[in-house]
């Protein structure tokens, strides 16, 4: 889980599995909390956007959407990941939290309109930071492409055009730990 909405997963169960086993299908709007699976996984959350089954390492929280907005609950729980890690590491040999830990977690519940406004504002900020992350990645890729182009034939052609004696001058360079005295381009 990645502390965000869950639209789809890589793993699936058959449609018959809930009927043939004790597997339970949770509805959209269910908030999930990872109880174990490694210290960095504990306390991670997710919000189901479509019905799904979960394994025993996950605590599923179904709320009444008239009392507690699932997106708000997700935000509160995401803010509390450090709390879950503290609980997991302070009280047990193998780091984990229990369903009782999740049930006993205190949550401030403002009026519904405030819950929705808080969740919407945080969703907008997450969208903006996601867009900025994508832009930074794109700029990083452009920088990498420019660097590669500068260090290939295009750069050699540019040197040939503007510094005809660059190949001879290169031979005068001293040996360095970065490479041989005469690099071939």
Confidence of residue 185 (pLDDT cuts 50, 70, 90): low
In a domain, 118, yes or no: no
Number of domains in the chain: 1
Rounded mean pLDDT of 31-41? 85
**What is the CATH number for 90?**
3.90.220.20
Q: Are strands 25-26 and 52-53 parallel, antiparallel or unpaired?
A: antiparallel
Top mean-pLDDT range of 39-43, 92-96, 155-159: 39-43
pLDDT at 141: 92
Cα–Cα distance for residue pair 17/29, rounded to 1 Å: 21
Phi, psi of 158 (to 5 degrees): -65, -45
Residue 180 has pLDDT above 80, yes or no: no
Collapsing DSSP states into helix, strand and coil, what is residue 48? strand
Instruction: Check whether 60 has a pLDDT greater than 80.
Output: yes
Which structural domain range is residue 58 located in?
4-109
Helix, coil or strand: residue 180: coil
Question: Residue 87 falls within a domain, yes or no?
Answer: yes
Whole-angstrom distance, CA of residue 60 vs CA of residue 17: 18
Report yes or no on 67 lying in a domain. yes
Give the pLDDT confidence of 158-174 residue by residue, as tens digits.
Answer: 778 888 887 777 777 66
162 is a domain residue: no
Distance of CA 49 to the CA centre of its chain: 17
């Amino acid at each position: 889980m990645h502390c965000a909405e869950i639209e789809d997963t890589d793993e699936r169960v058959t449609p018959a599995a809930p009927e043939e086993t004790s597997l339970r299908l949770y509805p959209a709007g269910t908030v999930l909390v990872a109880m174990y699976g490694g210290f960095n996984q504990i306390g991670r959350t997710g919000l189901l956007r479509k019905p799904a089954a979960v394994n025993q390492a996950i605590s599923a929280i179904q709320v009444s959407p008239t009392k507690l907005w699932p997106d708000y609950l997700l935000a509160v729980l995401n803010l509390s990941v450090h709390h879950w890690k503290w609980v997991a590491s302070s009280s047990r040999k193998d780091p984990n939290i229990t369903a009782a830990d999740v049930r006993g977690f205190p949550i401030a519940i403002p009026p519904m309109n405030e819950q929705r406004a808080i969740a919407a504002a945080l969703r907008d900020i997450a969208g903006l930071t996601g867009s900025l992350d994508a832009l930074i990645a794109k700029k990083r890729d452009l920088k990498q492409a420019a660097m590669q182009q500068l260090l290939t034939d295009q750069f050699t052609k540019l040197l040939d055009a503007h510094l005809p004696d660059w190949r001879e001058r290169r031979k005068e360079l001293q040996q360095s730990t970065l490479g041989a005295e005469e690099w071939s381009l």
